Amino acid sequence: MAFVPLVPIGDPLTVLVDARTVADQRAALATLEDRLRARRTEVEGGWGPSYVERVHKKGKLTARERLARLQDPGTRTFEVGTFVNYGEVFPGDQRSPAAGVVTAFARVEGRWVMVIANDNTVASGAWWPRTPEKIQRAQMMAMRLRIPTIYLVDCSGLFLPEQSKSFPGARGAGHIFKMNSLLSANGVPQIAGVFGDCIAGGGYMPIISDRVYMTEQAYMVIAGAALIKGAKSQKITSLVIGGPEVHVHQSGCADVRVPDDATLLACIRRDVARLPSSGADFYRGDLAGLDPRFPATELAGLLPTDHREAYDANQVLARLVDQSLFWEVMPEVGEEMICGVGRVGGLYAGFVINRQGLVGDPEHPGRQRPAGILYRGGIAKISAFSRACNDDGIPLIWLQDISGFDIGVEAEAHGLLAYGSSLIYTNSTNTTPMFTVLLRKASGAGYYAMSGLPYDPIVQLSTTLSRLSVMEGRTLAIAAFNTKLDDDFQITASDPAERAKIEAGMRETEARIEGDMDPFVAAKQLDTDEIVELGELRSYLGALVEMAYQNTGYRRVKNPRIWSMHDLRELVGGRR
């Protein structure tokens, strides 16, 4: 029998870092995470109390109140896309918190679902620029995980002053309906609850769902009453045009008519309860999820906020995996990378993480070279590991803190372009669920190769320490002004005015790039899915891994006795 040789890893934080350094690092991180919590609260408020009151006066719940009633009592949701459009100002000095739609993983009747809920406190749930892309991203997550998708619809259609940024294009609003179709074609259950406005595109979104509910205040129309009045001079209400009387009893575009929000949410919960239960307990066997020996909250004292300072990557893993037990695969090669298997919530997951600091240089025995960079051995190792996870059906978690690929004459002679392309090919064609976390640095082609967002991980999370960019600001400024610098990167111009202009340009470029690396910029642009606190990272990963095992029969999941991973262990580390 091939056992999974999990062994204890990690050390107490007091052994790793002195108390003063821990306190300093916690204080620096607290400033960043306080900002994260404050901005979350701001986004959750929508357009403010007056708009919440307006919704309540109609006898309706807000989107977030609906979500809270839908989820199982005592459970938490894991929102994605919280900061889409954060800080953007649209015509009329208007803002769209979370792009006017809440997308979140929630547990309903013991099953994970994706909830997509129009925020009826923000322009009556209108679709803003990036709203369609955010909805499609949530739909793609649900399809890749094969988890039920629930639409809580209360949508007044496109935010018309900015329609050119949300209506046309390959990922315009219409692509939402294609995603509806693909979800259906892939056998993913979809349930729609229509609570109010459902105009134009909002009217199409529920129709492909397997079950459509409407409250007495709901209506679904291709064109609302105002447009019909203008086009046909007919004075008629939207409720008369496409309310439940029409669509439940005449057109058949909806299935069930209910009196109010609470009843509709209860009906959705009942439908979810009728779906197959989660397979996660089967794959756990008799094992329950157990906390790490070293709590995840210690990550705050372990990771320096200064990206130039090193830490022990093994200690990060020790605070993420159950009981701090881990099997490192192929430790004999590619020292700059750690890859292996641990359990999260009792379920197996693969992990890849960059070491930090200095590691040995196999090309020059006795020398050291910086970690946090991809060299030939590390690339080959994580490529093979990624393929094995895919072959064995093990969900794979990429923990990035990477400066990029090795460069220079030796790197080119070693064929890093080809080795890197092999890794890119592997991650592009894998079908096992993959999740990516940007711990700190996510730079250059290293970000791509370690399953950055362009390579379609199901979810990419950032921390408040994340720095996503081609390269660091100073380095990029030097590259941008390279023609005006000598071999020592000094300005060649002798004219004082010209020198001052170049210096100012380099400072401006460096400052702009440093600003662009703020994780809130990436989140605003949908370049990362969510920003999380370090202390909640294990909870997020635990939920995602459980989702990966929820549905059965759509992907290969081998039992551990016949993992390809064991072959790698024997081929690389076995006796000769």
Is 56 inside any structural domain? Answer: yes
374 and 403 part of one domain: yes
CA 428-184-559 angle, 5° bins: 55
Is 331 inside any structural domain? Answer: yes
CA-nearest of 35, 55, 32 to 43 is 35
382 and 510 part of one domain: no
pLDDT at 371 exceeding the cut of 50: yes
List the single range of 239-248, 279-288, 290-299, 462-471 with lowest mean pLDDT: 239-248
Average pLDDT over residues 53-82: 97
426: domain CATH number is: 3.90.226.10
Alpha carbon separation from 206 to 66, 137, 196, 268 (Å, rounded): 17, 17, 12, 14
Tokens 């881990």 identify what position? 326
DSSP for 153-202, written as a single string: EEE--B-GGGGGGTSSSTTSTTHHHHHHHHHHHTT--EEEEEEEEEBTHH
328 and 407 part of one domain: yes
Average pLDDT over residues 395-424: 94
Q: Mean pLDDT score of the chain, rounded to an integer?
A: 92
List the single range of 4-13, 239-248, 408-417 with lowest mean pLDDT: 239-248
301 and 405 part of one domain: yes
358 and 506 part of one domain: no
pLDDT at 536 exceeding the cut of 70: yes
DSSP for 186-252, written as a single string: TT--EEEEEEEEEBTHHHHTTTTSSEEEEETT---BSS-HHHHHHHH-----HHHHHSHHHHTTTS-
181 and 124 part of one domain: yes
Q: What is the DSSP letter of 491?
A: B
pLDDT at 1 exceeding the cut of 50: no
Please, what sign has the CA dihedral across residues 452, 40, 65, 547? positive
Among residues 244, 277, 310, the one where a domain terminates is 277
pLDDT at residue 450 in the model: 95
430 and 363 part of one domain: yes
Is 28 inside any structural domain? Answer: no
**Full domain range(s) for residue 222:** 45-277
d(CA 496, CA 502): 10
CA-nearest of 501, 54, 70 to 265 is 70
pLDDT at residue 223 in the model: 64
Task: Express as a percent the part of the chain with pLDDT over 90.
Answer: 76
Please give the model's pTM, rounded to 2 decimal places. Answer: 0.94
132 and 253 part of one domain: yes
Average pLDDT over residues 446-469: 95
397 and 539 part of one domain: yes
d(CA 281, CA 261): 32
For residue 436, the cross-strand partners are 398, 460
pLDDT at residue 256 in the model: 96
Average pLDDT over residues 189-211: 85
Is 1 inside any structural domain? Answer: no
Cα 167 versus chain centre, distance: 24
Alpha carbon separation from 503 to 47, 226, 439 (Å, rounded): 43, 57, 32
Is 122 inside any structural domain? Answer: yes
Alpha carbon separation from 544 to 107, 189, 250 (Å, rounded): 12, 19, 42
Among residues 260, 277, 294, the one where a domain terminates is 277
pLDDT at 517 exceeding the cut of 90: no
pLDDT bucket at 170, cuts 50 / 70 / 90? confident
246 and 322 part of one domain: no
439 and 560 part of one domain: yes
pLDDT at 235 exceeding the cut of 80: no
Q: Give pLDDT tens digits for 90-100.
A: 988 999 999 99
List the single range of 88-97, 180-189, 216-225, 296-305 with lowest mean pLDDT: 216-225
Q: Which helix (H) or strand (E) holds 112?
A: strand 111-118
Among residues 500, 516, 532, the one where a domain terminates is 516
346 and 429 part of one domain: yes
Close Cβ partners of 100 (under 8 Å, ≥ 6 residues apart):
118, 119, 122, 123, 125, 126, 127, 128, 131, 159
List the single range of 148-157, 308-317, 445-454, 464-473 with lowest mean pLDDT: 464-473
Q: Give pLDDT tens digits for 77-123.
A: 999 999 999 999 998 899 999 999 999 999 999 999 999 999 999 99
Is 109 inside any structural domain? Answer: yes
pLDDT at 76 exceeding the cut of 60: yes
Tell me how many domains the chain contains: 3
pLDDT bucket at 287, cuts 50 / 70 / 90? confident
Is 138 inside any structural domain? Answer: yes
Is 36 inside any structural domain? Answer: no
